[in-house]
Structure 1
């Protein structure tokens, strides 16, 4: 079943065409990686999908409903979570309270604390639950953002550069987490780390100059001459 689809999705900023006529389909239960060179339009596309950026033209459908005009907070209520949309890490609050703020969108009472500890444990931050978020390293703040997404049990979890700032051991743990989550949620992953893409994604979409350059399995994308030339740098 198609969970998310866009048709003719475009965005221009003061004459700059950031995204052009993107048709995109994401099946339920899939892990999809979105890759491309800097400035390819990845974050703009995802911003339109999650409601942070209004499109200049085109449509977005989620769970068979047209959500093009819905604001971001209503998309969250429908089961869409985006690490930079649902979270804004509060530096002076403990890590656990940051996650609890997200959990209270759907839970109450004792269920909140149980869900918070589960989410922190899954991203490897349970031992830091009482630390102020602002004292965490950049990489750990990214993991905290992911915990804030997980605690809402979204149908679609959108992660924008989640491994940036992580140590190699933490990246390995992140790959395992994505494999685990793939049975619970559909995942859209913007990622530059190609080992993460190759090891976790079912399919890959490549953007270049705001347009879809290629789609396919990680192996197909790796062997695509146009992708090699535009992005992987070996063409």
Structure 2
């Protein structure tokens, strides 16, 4: 059974069809990449999954439960965590305080600092425990945001452009991190960096004009003529 699925999911903005009749299934334990050209509807689709906006029609289900009308904070309580395209860290708090706030949604007492240390180790920020988050580089703020998501031990982690602002060496480490996380967490990755997508995703879903253009393995998507024309720029 799919951990996350949509049926006929659509969203209109003043007559503009941003997402149109999308059927989507994400099995537990999979790394799924969501790609597509600018304006393809990716951000709107993810906002529908997260509960930041409500659908015009269709449904979203998580672990077999219809969550279409559930607000975002209640979806988090079910085991969904997500990072935004724009960082949402608390700039005036330290790195450890940011992660502690996220961890306290799940654990209490001394366990909090154990979780903080574990997730900062995972994302490569353990040496910046006491640094003020607002003083971090943009790329490191993205990694902190991922750590905050991981602190909640999510069943589903949705990452929106996580490698934006990362140096090449950090992107290499990020690929390893994603592969490591996939043993315990289902991952939906919205990403423009095609080397990240092709090297980490089990399956890729391509959106174009708010509709699913194609879906398949990295090799199948790379060889798909429609995808090449619409997005990969080799058509």
TM-score, normalisation: structure 1: 0.98
Aligned-partner Cα distance in 2 for 1:84–1:50 = 11
Distance in 1 separating the partners of 2:128 and 2:13: 41
> Deviation per CA, 1:81-106, whole angstroms, max 9, x where unpaired?
01139x83111100110010000001
**Equivalent residue for 1:118?**
118
Where does residue 108 of structure 1 map in the other structure?
108
Partner of 2:164: 164
1:36 aligns to 2:48 (yes or no) = no
Identify the residue that residue 200 of structure 2 maps to in structure 1. Answer: 200
- 1:72 corresponding residue in structure 2: 72
What is the DSSP-based 3-state SS (H/G/I as helix, E as strand, rest coil) of the residue aligned with 1:122?
helix
Structure 1 unaligned runs (5+)? none
Aligned-partner SS, 2:219: helix
SS at the partner of 1:219?
helix
- Structure 1 position 14 matched with structure 2 position 3: no
- Which runs of no fewer than 5 residues in structure 2 stay unpaired? none
What corresponds to 1:181 in structure 2? 181
Query: How far apart are residue 24 of structure 1 and its match?
Result: 0.2
CA deviation profile, 1:110-158 (whole Å, cap 9, x unmatched): 0000100111111000101100000000000000000000111100000
Measured on the aligned residues, the alpha-carbon RMSD in Å equals 1.0
The offset of 1:15, in angstroms, is 1.3
* Counterpart Cα distance in 2 of 1:99 and 1:156: 18
Give the equivalent residue in structure 2 for 1:49. 49
Distance 1:77 1:184 in 2: 17
Aligned match of 1:213? 213
Q: How many residues are matched?
A: 234
Task: Kindly state the Cα deviation for residue 108 of structure 1 after the two structures are TM-superposed.
Answer: 0.2
SS at match of 2:146: helix
Q: Secondary structure at the match of 2:58?
A: strand
For 1:45 and 1:6, the matched residues in 2 are separated by 10
Equivalent-residue separation in structure 2 for 1:6 and 1:171 (angstroms): 30
Query: Quick one: distance in 1 between partners of 2:69 and 2:95?
Result: 33
Q: TM-score, normalised by structure 2?
A: 0.98
* Partner Cα separation in structure 2 for residue 187 and residue 15 of structure 1: 32
Cα distance between partner residues in 2 of 1:117 and 1:207: 37
